[in-house]
């Protein structure tokens, strides 16, 4: 299995997200969203919702304004899309770049990569069924260490969570699960059923920094009954002693 440093050669820099060469899409997607939001929330809004084109109403017809007619505010809003396109294209390998090279907006680029690497709803449905079956059969492999099992299960949960919810981060409704947390101004995410949830904060969950998930959202009123490493221990993994209280990882 290739190392994360090989797949993401730029990953050690906090000033640049990892270059995406087609591997580990969900990890890259989450890192990219955090990176773009940290630069400017407005830029991320244009990735999610599409770019701005200055228009004018002439009679009953809406027409695009010529660039020499744009106001300073029009130019500022239009620039967000260009900044988003620049960020996305600057961290793609050559094959991934050519997938989106003809896209005219950052949203079109983002959606193209999403469909390519996550698939359509039919593909997701098929993957969900496969992952459900694999989950039911999940066991600790012979000669597998506790740390390796935890990593494998966490990676497996990540895949299932992405497919079921369409979310790029873990979501938790209980503050006691967090090792540390930073309260955030009110924002929202959309769940897989199109309902919206209010974000109260972001932080790490687990029992200590060596056995934690780094990116988790504290959600207002979220109730969940996800599986965890501790629950695997309860199912009979006696060698899991010491990990019993890691808590829900989903």
Question: pLDDT tens across 88-120, in order?
Answer: 999 999 989 998 888 889 999 998 898 888 765
pLDDT of residue 160: 53
* pTM for the model: 0.47
Section 204-208 average pLDDT: 62
In a domain, 123, yes or no: no
**Bridge-partner residues for 58, per DSSP?**
61
Residue spans of alpha helices (H) in 40-120 = 41-49, 72-90, 94-100, 106-118
Same domain, 76 and 155: no
Distance, in Å, from the CA atom of 69 to the CA atom of 64, rounded to the nearest integer, reads: 10
Q: Find how far residue 7's CA is from the centre of its chain.
A: 17
**Distance, first Cα to last Cα, the chain:** 25
Instruction: Judge whether 77 and 53 are in contact, CB under 8 Å.
Output: no
Q: Domains in the chain: how many in total?
A: 2
- From residue 21, give the alpha-carbon distance in Å to each of 2, 87, 94, 95, 183: 13, 15, 8, 7, 34
> At 36, is the pLDDT very low, low, confident or very high (cuts 50, 70, 90)?
very high
pLDDT of residue 66: 86
Q: Which residues are within 8 A (CB) of 123 and not within 5 positions of it... i.e. 6 or more apart? A: none
Give the percent of the chain with pLDDT over 70.
Answer: 48
CA angle centred on 112, ends 109 and 113, rounded to 5° = 90
In a domain, 195, yes or no: yes
The pLDDT of residue 2 is above 50 = no
Pairing of strands 55-58, 61-64: antiparallel
- State the CB neighbour count (10 A cutoff) for residue 9: 13
- State the CB neighbour count (10 A cutoff) for residue 172: 25
Domain hosting residue 174, numbered range:
144-240
Same domain, 79 and 167: no
In a domain, 127, yes or no: no
Distance, in Å, from the CA atom of 31 to the CA atom of 7, rounded to the nearest integer, reads: 14
Coil, strand or helix at 202 = strand
Name the least confident of 25-29, 61-65, 235-239. Answer: 235-239
Distance, in Å, from the CA atom of 149 to the CA atom of 140, rounded to the nearest integer, reads: 6
Same domain, 114 and 187: no
pLDDT of residue 139: 62
Last residue of a domain, one of 83, 118, 153: 118
In a domain, 152, yes or no: yes
Same domain, 91 and 16: yes
Instruction: Judge whether 205 and 170 are in contact, CB under 8 Å.
Output: yes
In a domain, 45, yes or no: yes
Sign of CA dihedral 205, 206, 209, 211: negative
């Amino acid at each position: 299995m290739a190392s994360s440093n090989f797949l993401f050669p730029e990953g050690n820099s906090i000033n640049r997200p990892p270059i995406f060469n087609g591997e580990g899409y969900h990890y890259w997607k989450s890192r990219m969203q955090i990176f773009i939001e940290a630069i400017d929330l407005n830029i991320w809004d244009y990735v999610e919702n599409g770019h701005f084109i200055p228009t004018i109403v002439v009679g009953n017809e809406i027409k695009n304004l010529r660039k020499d007619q744009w106001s300073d505010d029009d130019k500022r809003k239009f620039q967000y899309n260009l900044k988003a396109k620049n960020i996305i294209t600057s961290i793609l390998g050559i094959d991934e770049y050519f997938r989106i090279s003809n896209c005219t907006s950052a949203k079109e680029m983002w959606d193209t990569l999403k469909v390519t690497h996550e698939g359509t709803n039919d593909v997701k449905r098929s993957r969900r069924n496969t992952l459900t079956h694999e989950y039911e059969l999940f066991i600790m492999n012979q000669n597998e260490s506790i740390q390796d099992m935890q990593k494998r299960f966490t990676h497996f949960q990540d895949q299932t969570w992405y497919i079921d919810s369409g979310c790029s981060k873990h979501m938790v409704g209980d503050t006691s699960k967090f090792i540390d947390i930073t309260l955030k101004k009110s924002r929202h995410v959309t769940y897989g059923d199109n309902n919206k949830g209010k974000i109260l904060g972001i932080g790490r969950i687990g029992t200590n920094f060596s056995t934690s998930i780094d990116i988790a959202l504290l959600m207002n009123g979220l109730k969940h009954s996800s599986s965890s490493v501790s629950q695997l221990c309860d199912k009979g993994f006696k060698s899991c002693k010491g990990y019993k209280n890691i808590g829900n990882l989903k």
